[in-house]
Amino acid sequence: MPHPLKDKVALVAGATRGAGRGIAVELGAAGATVYVTGRTTRARRSEYDRPETIEDTAGLVTEAGGRGIAVPTDHLEPEQVKALVDRIADEQGRLDVLVNDIWGGEHLFAWEAPVWEHDLDKGLRLLRLAVETHAITSHYALPLLLRHPGGLVVEMTDGTAEYNRDNYRVSFFYDLAKSSVLRMAFALAHELGPRGATALALTPGWLRSEMMLDHFGVREENWRDALDKVPHFAISETPRYVGRAVATLAADPEVARFNGASLSSGGLAQEYGFTDLDGSRPDAWRYLVEVQDAGKPADTTGYR
């Protein structure tokens, strides 16, 4: 089916850039109407002060074959989230897919800084942006999602439950934020499953987001130029890869078998057979354990 999500409605909360944008575009490519939210618009930037906007994301959704609708929203403000969901209910009468991808903490954590040395205000702000926003959005959006059976909630995080259980992730606040999102998906699965919907956690691998590419001083067209400095970057993937994971899950009539699960883009590619834009199937989390963390030289043979 060229448009398996035709007549479906999705909300990608946190779709300005990165994984959120990739997910929104791939949902659009599958034919969905996609509401995209974030704080950076053509009229106003968030504290990230970056050029990507939700209007641009909505345009990409429409170009891909869906219908993109940009709604400026600060997901820390309950009244804004309620207004967003009321608008979706008034315009569409349904919500089939909710993707909680709100983050906004990229400049708020310090690598390897113990909690007593970490800036407290930044750490607490990170937790609010990464956790509280997800709870607020679910509180208001899930009654609409439950109007029709078969709804899907995707909690976006960094790392699988298995990997994060056994590994310290960056710093106290970062670790707590990403693990909290995993637990939110688990809790939502218990609340939504008996009511005919599915909740799961999903992580991309090493994401070639706009910010990551800028960090390495490359573009998507020449991203391999960064391998001289960071060889393991060879396992990286585009945001569209995890987008295809979400679109495939949303189109799967048996997605309920994943209720409560912690999934990865690479693992789902093996399950469903989709690829990244270059035709490869990077399996970053398996690579991380078996190659990078094991201290072996960079070699993606068998991992993409």
The string of DSSP codes covering 147-180 is TSTT-EEEEE-SS-HHHHHHS--SSHHHHHHHHH
Predicted structure pTM score: 0.97
Contact partners, residue 229, CB within 8 Å, separation at least 6: 216
* Cα atoms found within 13 Å of the Cα of residue 26, Cβ hemisphere only: 26
pLDDT reported for residue 202 = 98
pLDDT reported for residue 258 = 98
Provide φ and ψ at 224, rounded to 5°: -70, -15
> Which CB contacts under 8 angstroms, 24+ apart, belong to 116-124?
118/171, 118/172, 118/173, 122/173, 123/171, 123/172, 123/173, 124/173
pLDDT reported for residue 166 = 95
Q: What is the DSSP secondary structure assignment for residue 288, as one 8-state letter? A: I
Q: Which CATH number fits domain 9-214+239-286: 3.40.50.300, 3.40.50.720, 3.10.20.740, 3.90.79.10?
A: 3.40.50.720
Are residues 238 and 221 in contact, defined by beta-carbon separation less than 8 angstroms?
A: no
pLDDT lower than 70: segments of the chain: 1
Please report, for residues 131, 184, 186, 211, 220, the alpha-carbon distance to residue 236 in angstroms, rounded to integers and kept in the order given: 26, 26, 27, 14, 11
pLDDT reported for residue 100 = 98
pLDDT reported for residue 21 = 98
Q: How far apart are CA 199 and CA 192, in angstroms?
A: 7
pLDDT reported for residue 188 = 98
pLDDT reported for residue 210 = 97
Please report, for residues 19, 39, 102, 177, the alpha-carbon distance to residue 130 in angstroms, rounded to integers and kept in the order given: 14, 14, 6, 6
